[in-house]
Every structure is written in structure tokens, then in C-alpha cells.
Amino acid sequence: MQLNKFFKLVLSMKGEHSPSFPLLINLAVLGLLRGGTRPEQITQLRPGPIEKKINRHYHRLCRVQEELGRLNRKQAAEGSLPGKNTPGFSFEDYVFSQIDFSRYRELPAGDFETIPESLTDFDEGFFIRNFRLGRDKIQALIEGSYKKENGFYRIQKESPLLLSVMRTLETSLENNELFTTEEIQAELTGLSDLLGENSKTIPDTEHLFPLLVSSLDGLNITHPDGMKTKLFFLDGNLSATFMPGNKAWTRVIISG
């Protein structure tokens, strides 16, 4: 089956069934837009999970770039760091001393309500390594520590662990793959169930997955601030060049 034909099949099954295969729908939308399908025909299906994940990745890089921009590099290079006379004081200590943890005491509702989605950008091992707690317990910690008031979520139970979690989620450079073979297989199974006898026309994951990844080569994702991220292949990996603060960051988003 040609990829465009597969994409059109996926979109023909949208509607009430869309939650069953959001990745395939998003890939179909992006693939057909690149192929010249009129955007207004499918614009209501955007942004999908792929674009949202890339946006979250970009947002984290923006925060990292912002913090790097605030560091007094000249002061650091000259060895005149605040606290430099303290035994054992290092550049890493200086960087930590510049972190503004107060920003996590009050968050706009729109930012706070994306946290459950952003937790899925990291695997279970990430949370265990960093906090010795699983994803579900981290989510419960966050949700139990904030209260919504007048369009903002304000911290009610502040703790070093909570502040560390919030900062890590906002600035970590670790990231799950953009999507995996397991996720695509699960969605193909759901699509097959809907198609019944016609499911024989669906390619198997082994052959389809590399085609889906290749369909993103050369794609540009436009972020809410107008900056663009370009997806491309580099050394066999699907990579992306983000431009936070107009500085280029190239990251692998699906490894080869």
C-alpha cells in the first residue's frame, strides 16, 4: 500500500474513533499536508500529539537557553563568582545559585494543565533515577501540592523535592523517542479492529514504521512564538534543529 493511500485510509476512520489512533492521524495529517492536500481540509485535526511533543521539547530548550543567557560568563571566566571563597564552591554551584525557584510557586493555568501530558515525555526510569519515585507518584505529588485560584495554580505544600521535580520537568534535555514501534503497533491493532475484513490492506509495523519516520524528513514545525523547527535525517537518526532564542540546538528525536 502506498503511504499516501494509507494516510487517506487513516483519516477516513477519524471522528469518534480518533482517540484510538492519534499518532497515525497526526502522521497522516502531516504527510498529506506535505503532499499538497489543502490545509483547511484537515486543519481541525492539528496540532496532534507529535506536534505537541515537539512544542514541549522546544519549550524546555527555550527555558535552558534563557537560563544560559542569564549566567554572567565573564564573571565566571574571571573566577570572580559569588561565593568563590567558599571551600568546594564550583561553577556548577554558581549555576545552581542562579536558578529562580520562585517561578514554580505560581503557574498560569494553561502551563500547569499541560504537566500530565509533559510527564509522558520521559520514561519510567527517568523518574526513578532522578527522584526515586515513579511517574504516577510524581504526578500525584504535583497535583496535591497546587491549588487553582483566579486562573493560576498556586503552591500549597512547598518542598525541595517538589521544586526539583518542577525544574527538572521544565529544563531536562532527556526526552523519549518522538514515537515508538510499540505505540504504532498498538494503534495499528486498533485500526485493524475497526476495519475488520478490510484490515488485510494495512501494512505490518516492521515495514510501515520506517516509512512513517521517513515521512517526517524535511518537515517544518512552527511553534506558537513563530519560530520553526526543521526535522531531517542525520547519521541515520531522525533529528530536529530547534532555534530557542535564535540559537541552534540539534537533537535526535527518533534514533536509527
d(CA 206, CA 202): 12
- Of 54-58, 90-94, 115-119, 170-174, the one with minimum mean pLDDT is 90-94
Domain map (residue ranges) of the chain: 51-171
Question: Mean pLDDT, to the nearest integer, of 59-83?
Answer: 71
Q: What is the pTM (predicted TM-score) of this model?
A: 0.85
Is a pLDDT exceeding 60 seen at residue 40? no
% the chain with pLDDT above 70? 82
**pLDDT(75) > 80:** no
Estimate the crossing angle of helix 135-145 against helix 124-131, to 10 degrees.
70
Query: What does the pLDDT average to over 83-106?
Result: 67
Residue range 73-97: mean pLDDT, rounded: 54
Residue 137, CA distances (Å) to 115, 128, 198, 248 in order:
13, 10, 42, 35
- The whole-number pLDDT of residue 72 equals 57
* Nearest-angstrom CA–CA distance, 178 and 27: 11
